[in-house]
């Protein structure tokens, strides 16, 4: 990302604002697919000074994993689609098992 600032809570808003403006960056496609299938673990639901002070909750965990907001949004959409596919597969499997029992 190229931002050379120490990560302190008072810097989080500035750092996250710069990250939100970032439009260029690279993320390996295989890594993105992997994240979409296993999920991305951020700082969780506990207290996180980075998330508390960052713009729009774009905490250090997110910024260090995804080079731009667009990469993060793409991940979220891919994760949603993946979870939908898993749900459909589970339903189809349950229906198939029920039909085999009859």
- Count of structural domains, the chain: 1
CA distance 88 to 79: 14
Question: What pLDDT is recorded for position 53?
Answer: 84
Q: Confirm whether 41 is domain-assigned.
A: yes
Whether the full predicted model's pTM is greater than 0.75, yes or no, is yes
CA distance 50 to 56: 11
Residue 1 reports pLDDT greater than 60: no
Residue 102 reports pLDDT greater than 80: no
Q: Confirm whether 21 is domain-assigned.
A: yes
Q: Confirm whether 66 is domain-assigned.
A: yes
Domain that holds residue 34: 9-101
Q: Confirm whether 69 is domain-assigned.
A: yes
Question: What pLDDT is recorded for position 6?
Answer: 53
Q: Confirm whether 4 is domain-assigned.
A: no
Select the more confidently predicted residue: 42 or 66: 66
Supply 14's token pair.
Answer: 């500035």
CA distance 35 to 30: 9
Q: Confirm whether 2 is domain-assigned.
A: no
Q: Confirm whether 3 is domain-assigned.
A: no
| pLDDT (tens digit per residue) in 7-59 | 577 788 899 999 999 999 999 999 999 999 999 888 777 778 888 888 888 98
Residue 90 reports pLDDT greater than 50: yes
Q: Confirm whether 52 is domain-assigned.
A: yes
Question: What pLDDT is recorded for position 5?
Answer: 47
Question: What pLDDT is recorded for position 48?
Answer: 80
Question: What pLDDT is recorded for position 63?
Answer: 93
């Amino acid at each position: 990302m190229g931002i050379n600032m120490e990560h302190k809570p008072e810097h989080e808003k500035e750092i996250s604002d710069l990250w939100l403006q970032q439009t260029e960056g690279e993320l390996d496609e295989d890594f993105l697919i992997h994240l979409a299938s296993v999920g991305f673990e951020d700082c969780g639901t506990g207290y996180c000074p980075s998330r508390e002070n960052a713009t729009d909750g774009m905490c250090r965990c997110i910024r260090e994993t995804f080079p731009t907001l667009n990469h993060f949004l793409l991940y979220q959409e891919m994760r949603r689609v993946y979870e939908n596919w898993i749900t459909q597969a589970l339903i189809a499997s349950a229906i198939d098992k029920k039909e085999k029992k009859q």
